[in-house]
Structure formats: C-alpha cells, structure tokens
Structure 1
Amino acid sequence: MDNTRPAQARRAALSSLDLLKLSLGTTMSHTTTNHRDLDTLPVSKLFWQYTIPSLAGMLATGLYVVIDGIFVGHFVGSHGLAAIALAYPLVMMQVGLGAMLSMGAATRIAILQGGGDYERARATLVAALALLALISLAIPLLGLTYLDTLLQWLQADKQPIVMAEARNYLQWMLGGALFTMGQMVATYLLRNDGRPRLATLLMVIGSLLNVVFNYLFVGVLKLGLAGSAQATLLSESVVMLAGLGYFFTRHARLRLRLANWRLDWRCCGPVLALGLSSLLMEFNLALLMFAHNFQLLRWGTDLSVAAYATAGYSEALFTLVVHGLAVGLQPLLSHSTGAGRPERTREALRYGLRVTMLLGLTALAAVQLFPTLIVRMYNSEDLALIAAGSHALRLHLLAMPFDGLVIIGIIALQAMALTRAALLLTIGKTILLLPALWLLPLWLKLDGVWLAMPLVNLLLGTAAALALWGAFQRLKRQEDLATAA
C-alpha cells in the first residue's frame, strides 16, 4: 500500500526519510567503520555492515504493524480491520505532529551542539518537551469533543459495527496522544544523543510488549479495537518513559536536571520551523489514505477497506526492509561522492540496486503465488475477506519492484547531492496518485482503485530508473576523466 498503509506502518516509513538522514548524520562518528574502511573494504561487506542494524530497527517497527493486523483480523474480524483503516488518517495527523516535534528538536539540538552551544541545546530540549505536553493536551480536548463529526468525515459511519469499533479505537488513540508522540520524540533524541543502539533496543522492546499486550487485551480479554489501542499505547509509554528518562541520567550527553526546567519560548519557533516538512509529509500521507478509503467505499464496501488493510500490512514490511537497505547504501554513496571516487560510487549504487530489485521480485512472486496464504495470516475463517484480500494483494501490490526502486532511488539521489531529482520523485506520488484514484475507477470500477498505486509506482519507478541511469553516465564520464588525467 506504500504511502497509504494503515496501522503504524508509516510511523517508520512515513517519517523514515527524515529519521534516516538524522540518524546517519549523528551516528557516523560512533560506528565501528571508519573512513579508511569506507575507502578500502569491499562495497558488499560495507553495505551489509550498515544495513543489518538498520534492518533490525525497521523490522522492529514493522512488528507493530503486523501484530496489530494479525490480532485484530483474527479476534475482531474484517470490520475491525476496516475500522482501523478508516480511523487511521486521523492518527497519522497526530503522528505528523509528533514527527514535527521529533525532527525539529533533534535537528535544532544537533546544530546547536555542533556549534558548542550546549545551554541553548538543553533549552531547546526543554522547549520540545513543553510543546509535546501542550499538543498532547490539545489533541484529546479537540478530538474527543468532535469525535462523531470526525468519524463521519472519515466515512466510518456507514456500518454501525465499524462505527463502534472506530470510535473505541480513536477514543484511546486520541486520548493517548502523549505516548504516540512521546515515543517518537524519545527515539529521535536518543539517536541524536549518540545512542542509536539504545533507540533500536527500545523499539524492539516496544514491539515485543505490543505482542504480549495485544494477546492479553484483544485475544484473551476480547476488548476489540479498544484493546488494540490500549496495547499500542501501553507499549509506547514504556518506550517514551525509558527514552526520555535517559536524559536525566549521567549517561546522557545532553543531561537534564530540575534546575534546567526554565522554559524559553524563543526556542519553540526553530523547533516548529525545522520540523514543518515532516508534519506536511505525514499530513500528505493521511490525505492519500483518506482518498483511498473514500474511493473504496464509493466503489466497494467496508470489506474492500478491510482488504486494503491486509494489503497495507503486508507491503509495510517490504517497504521498511527497502528503507533499511537504503540506510546501508546512503553512507557509501555520500562518502565516495565526497571523496571524489566515481568508480566507488558506481559500484555501491549498482550493488544496492541489484539487492533491491532482487528483493522486489521475490516479494512480487510471493504475493502473486501465495496471496491466500498471506491473507490467512490476518484472518483464516472469513472466506469473503480472504477472497477480497487475495484479489487486492495481487492487484494493489503489482508493482512492488518499482516501488522499491522509487524508495532507494530517492535516497540514493539525495546521497549523491542530486536533491532536485529526489524532490521531484518524492512529490510525484501525490501529484499522480490523486488523479489516478479518481479517474481509473471510472473505467475499471473497484479494480481501478486497486491499480492506481501500481500504475503510479510504475511511472515513478521508470522516472527513477532514468534519473539513476543519468547518474551512472555522469559518474562514468568522471571516471574516464580521472583515468585520462
């Protein structure tokens, strides 16, 4: 489902481009691979040295997605999956506010620390926590007051059972905004403080706790989507408290003490400004998901939305793995570009693209050959959902190799300082997807909704391939010039 997957999928993938750039930029000095290694070790070895840790973090996040889907699908049913999918654009907007605070605070603090201004960096951390508290109060006050209106806007009022589950889910998710945003802020700031392994460990712990709590609340106590939300929030609260608590210990570089709690409101502006792009990205993703849901209900039923959820849960893992691979590729490309070694850049880019395309083709084969088996992971008894979900998987995920090519192409182009091409690919999905979602169903009806995303991925993947081919040619010319000299 790419940019529009439900549950917490975009929490990593949606903000992951910013997170990858931040985490890589702030942890390069702490990795065991030094500059000499980057210049001399085989590209394949370096690629996996960088990739394996990032994949662990991405897959830990992906567990949130899959576990939620499995428990809701098996113990609540197709109406539960539909309710999450319909409600989640609102949660994504909440995640966007968390991403704004996380990226804005981490970036501002890194800049101030780089300039040696640790007092203002500490004041910025305090300001970020104050903003977190204020926004966490505003969301439930506004959201819960107008909850029924919001549910109608989200099209969740078509079926009473779906409406009830969506209301139960949002009551908890909006009420627990502090934990959803707080755990994002905590993990971003931990990476920024030179503790990427601790951040990843907390993410893994949170994912495991989510499994346990989902089993208890959804499987044993039969609390439905309310239980799923409670499991998520309880897991996130552990990550948030442990992550933010770190900054009150002697191990933190940017340590907080009670004497530091003097709020300087002037520090809030830069945090909000630097994080604005992350907020807009998440809001954009919420819009795309809402558009999918709207068209699925227009041309199908709530069963179609549930099928959309199963496809989204499944592709979430693929996208997160591709982002993890991109992490392994980015430092190799950036270092060799800065070092003026075009032959090394070409080799790294070629290797990363080969791995990504192999992964994409393997995932595509699995989806096309075993769609029923995949859907049965989420519900093994609802024959209607199994049939609808299998059909959705085959059509909606038809262009997975091109989807992977777009993701790694954007990050590779950024890594080689070709930011204009990367930006065009990034905004191209929204520009193309909204018209496709409205026009294709006029011809193909419900199948048009399923095919809108693969069509856009096919077009953008082709554009990414052309941009990367142009980069290859420029690198070849640079290599030839260096050889001739």
Structure 2
Amino acid sequence: MNRNKTEIIDDLEQKPIWKLLAQYSIPTALGLIVNSLYQVVNRIFIGHIKEGGTLALSGIGYTMPITTIILAISALIAIGASANISMRLGEKQKERAEKTAGNAFTYVTIVSLAITILFFVFKQQILGLLGITGQSASYADSYISIIILGTIFNMFSFTLPVIIRADGRPTLSAVITLVGCILNIILDTILILGLHMGTTGAAIATVISQSIVTAIGFGYFISRHSYLRLSKAMFLPALPILKSILKIGIVPFTNQLSISITQLVGNYSLALHGGESSVGVMTAINSILLIFLMPIHGIGQGLQPIAGYNYAKKNYKRAFAVFKLALLWNTVILLIGLILIQVFPAFWVSLFINDPSLVPLTLDGLRKFTFLLPLATVVPTSLSFMMLTGKEKSSSFLSVFYQIGLFAFMIYALPLIWGMDGLWYSRPISDIIGSAVTLFFFIRGYSSIIKEMRKEPVK
C-alpha cells in the first residue's frame, strides 16, 4: 500500500477538511468524468452521422435502460468488493482481501455471461419492452447487440479499476480508465467518421476499448506490482464474502436500477408526446448534463470516508463540516454549469444535434430542463453523507423515492397535463420536491446530534 494506516487516520482526524476533500474527491471525480466520456463521445460522433444522426441517437437512448442495469450490477460487485477489500487490508487480513477480489472477478464472469445469454434468448421481448420501434429500431438493435456481446468486458472494465484503487494504486486506476477513453475516441473517429459504420462502429469501438482496459487490469494483478496476489483458490465462490459484497454494494445498485426504470418511463413518455426523435433530443440533453453531474458525484463519493470515519469517532463537527463544504463546492460547480448552458446553449446542442429541424426543440428543452441545475446537488450529496453515517435505510429509500416515486412519475404525468413543457420541467420540479423531502429526512435524522454538537471550532 502507498501509505500506512496511521498516516491515513491522522489525515482523517487532523488535516484541513478542504485539503482532505480535494485529496479524496479529485481522483474519484476524474475517474467518473473519464468513464462518462465513453458515453458522451459515442453520442457526439453518432449525433453527427450525416444521414439519420438524431435517429441513431434515439436508438442509443432507447437502449440506455439496459446499459444502466449492467452498470448497476457492475457497481454492486465492484463497489461492494472494493469497500470490503479496504476494510480487510486495514484489519491486516490480506488473504481475506485477496479472496474478496477473486470472488468479485468470479461473480462478474458469471453474471456477464448470464446477461449475454438471456438477452439473445429473449431479445425480441426485451426490445419490445423498451418500446424500440420505428426508424430508430435498426440503430438500437445493431448497437445494443454488440454491446451485450461485450458485456464481460464492460463489467470488468468498470470493476478492475475500482479494485485496483482499493489495492492502493488510485493513479494507475485512473490511467487505465483514461487509456480506454482515449482509445475509444480514436476508434470512434476511424469507425464512425472514417469507415461510416454508424452505431455499429460506436459499439465496436466501446467493446474494443473495454477489452483493452480489462487486459491491462488483469495484467496488473498477475504482475509483481500488485499488493493483492490472486491464486486459483481465491476464485472459488464463498457465501460469507458474497453477503459482505451485497451488503455494501446494494445502495449504488439500487440507485442505478432506479435510474434505469426512470429512463424506461422517460423514453415511453418522450416517444408518446414528442415522437421517437425526441428520445434523441433528450439523450443529447442528458449527455450535456452528464458532463456537469459527474464531478458532483465524485465529490459526493470523496466525502464518504472522511465523514464516515469522523462520524464513527463522534467528531460530529468535523463530519458535518465536510458535508457542508461538499455541498458548497457542488453548488458552485452546477452554478457554473447553469451559466455555461444558459449563455451558450447553441454550442452544447451543436455537439450532439446536426438536424436543423430539431435544434430549436433541443435548445428549448435544454434551457428548461436545466434552469434549476444547482438544486441537483442536494439529493446525491445528502445521500452520500447519510450512507456512511448510520442512515443507510433512509439513503436507499430516498434514492428510490427520488428516481422512481418522483422523477419517473413526473416525467410520465406532467406531459399529460402540460405537453412537451411537462417533459422539460420534470427535472427542475423533481429537484425542488426531492430536495425538500431529503432535507426533511436529513434534519429529522440528525436533529439530536446537531443539538449535541460542541461549539468548539472545527479542527
């Protein structure tokens, strides 16, 4: 490991919180940004296909619930295993940590193969459930079929860097992910712009890039540079390890699964009220949002070990101080994002939409969908804090409530009353209500602790 346990504990207890939050957040945020670039770059290239770019973008939009479910399962295994590996290494149980890593790789292999087989057995039923019809159907089919064939690389390209980070090599983890992203851009240029392979080329570029990341990741673990050493016995599934992975991984899994359901409902509502081209429009808008939302999720993850440790040590003042700082930073980031989007909307739209007939619709949707963008930090930042400070059940409930009970409902119900404007205002209205409900649970859940916090200055 790069640093000993005593040094890490000293930092968590004594280092200025702004330095500590930056130290933990920046690598995570960069990793999330780079990961999101896989999707964003693919959509930029696809949106600029000369013939049918927006329909191709709609095709990818229709398949997003599937790719999000794959991400949810990857997060379940990777984040659950990574957290357990960190804890076992902190307890000097290296063999147990190695067993956890080996089991994680086994579960990724089993689940990815199961997903691939089940998809092709029930392909027509799945595409029907997703509402994939019309002119965008061929684009969606060609894209998702290749992506599913590469599911094993998709899941490993997410899992391996996360576990490498837990092995004490955060820089290497980020570099591996960055290599995959750069390779994806190069291949997109060759296959989409050079060979005119459209969505098929985008999918092939993604799978090849993810397979290279997988190869590099496994190369690290079989080299002499890794701290964790894997043997055949480590890959044999163990029920106690599976339970420990699921216990921690269930929260990010639930969150991503809820997002998948929201995407499914959103696509249905978009196609019903705006036609299949509007699915491509919303895919472009969500891609623009992704650029600004990834940093705030990185800061949210970065605050967790700091807040969780200090909360457990009953240093509540410090724990809540890092939460408030994270909330402030995220608000500033999203405020900058709001200004950039509202002042230069044409620039952002031009990255994804090249159909002149759809540009006005996209501009209108982007402005309305994002006009309360800074509020989008309240729910994820609060849930990140609650997850590691004894409020796991509330965090899981609020995550499902926000994505399904609120956002999915709004994106379905508002257009019935308000037409297309209902679609565009579904996000800001959901953020207003979601923020209010989250703050209510937050204040109620920590009220006694807030009252008891001592008045001495934060260390």
TM-score, with structure 2 as normaliser: 0.88
**How far apart, CA to CA, are the structure 2 residues paired with 1:118 and 1:44?**
32
How do residues 235-384 of structure 1 correspond to structure 2 at under 5 angstroms?
235-257=209-231, 260=233, 263-264=236-237, 266=239, 269-270=242-243, 273-274=246-247, 275-379=249-353, 381-384=354-357
CA distance in structure 2 between the aligned counterparts of 1:347 and 1:127, rounded to whole angstroms: 37
Task: Write the deviation string for residues 92-116 of structure 1: whole angstroms up to 9, x where unpaired.
Answer: 2233333333234445555655665
CA distance in 2, matches of 1:153, 1:280: 21
Q: For residues 452 and 238 of structure 2, what CA distance do their matches in structure 1 show? A: 49
* Residues 325-380 of structure 1: per-residue CA shift (max 9 Å, x gap): 2244334433443444444445433333222222222222222222222100123x
C-alpha distance in 2, partners of 1:348/1:270?
Answer: 30
Gaps of 5+ in 2: none
Which of the residues 60, 64, 69 maps onto 1:88? 64
| Mapped pair 1:389 → 2:365 | no
**1:450 aligned partner, one-letter code:** W
Overall identity of the aligned pairs, in % = 24
- Aligned-pair CA distance for 1:69: 1.6
What's the CA shift for 1:408? Answer: 1.3
The question of 1:140 aligning with 2:111 is answered no
Partner of 1:413: 386
1:197 is displaced (CA, Å) by 1.9
CA positional deviation for 1:79: 0.7
Q: How many residues align?
A: 453
1:196-224 residue CA offsets vs partner (Å, 9 max, x unmatched): 22211111111111111111111111111
Q: Deviations over 1:54-103 (max 9, x none)?
A: 23212212322321121111126101110000012122223333333323
CA 1:268/1:226 → structure 2, altered by over 3 Å: closer, same or farther? Answer: farther
> Are residues 1:404 and 2:380 paired?
no
Distance 1:431 1:205 in 2: 38
Mapped partners of 2:133, 2:159: distance in 1: 33
Residues 129 and 50 of structure 1: is their aligned pair in 2 closer, same or farther, counting only changes over 3 Å?
closer
Q: Return closer, same or farther for 1:298/1:243 CA change in 2, 3 Å cut-off.
A: same
- Residues 63 and 207, structure 1, Cα contact 8 Å, conserved in 2: yes
| Deviation of 1:393 (Å) | 0.9
Shift in alpha-carbon separation, 1:212–1:298, aligned structure 2, 3 A: same
Conservation of the 8 A alpha-carbon contact between 2:300 and 2:384 = yes
1:450 paired to 2:403:
no
Pair 1:227-2:218 in alignment:
no
Match of 1:10 in 2: none
TM normalised by structure 1 equals: 0.83
Alignment partner, residue 201 of structure 1: 175
Relative distance call for 1:355 and 1:202 in structure 2 (3 A) is same
Q: Distance in 2 between matches of 1:272 and 1:329?
A: 21
The residue type equivalent to 2:57 in the other structure is L
Q: Decide whether the 8 Å contact of 1:343 with 1:475 is kept in 2.
A: no
Amino acid of the structure 2 residue aligned with 1:399: L
CA distance in 2, matches of 1:141, 1:281: 25
* Paired residue secondary structure (1:384): coil
1:462 aligns with 2:433: no
User: Is the partner of 2:229 in helix, strand or coil?
Assistant: coil
1:473 to partner: Cα distance:
7.0
Q: Which residue does the alignment assign to 2:157? A: 183
1:314: Cα distance to partner?
A: 0.7
1:237 corresponds to which letter in structure 2?
S
Question: Structure 1 residues 185 and 330 mapped into 2: Cα distance closer, same or farther (>3 Å)?
Answer: closer
1:140-159 matches, within 5 Å, as 140-159=116-135
* Structure 1 unaligned spans of 5+: 1-26
Whether the 8 Å CA contact 1:139–1:175 is kept in 2: the answer is no
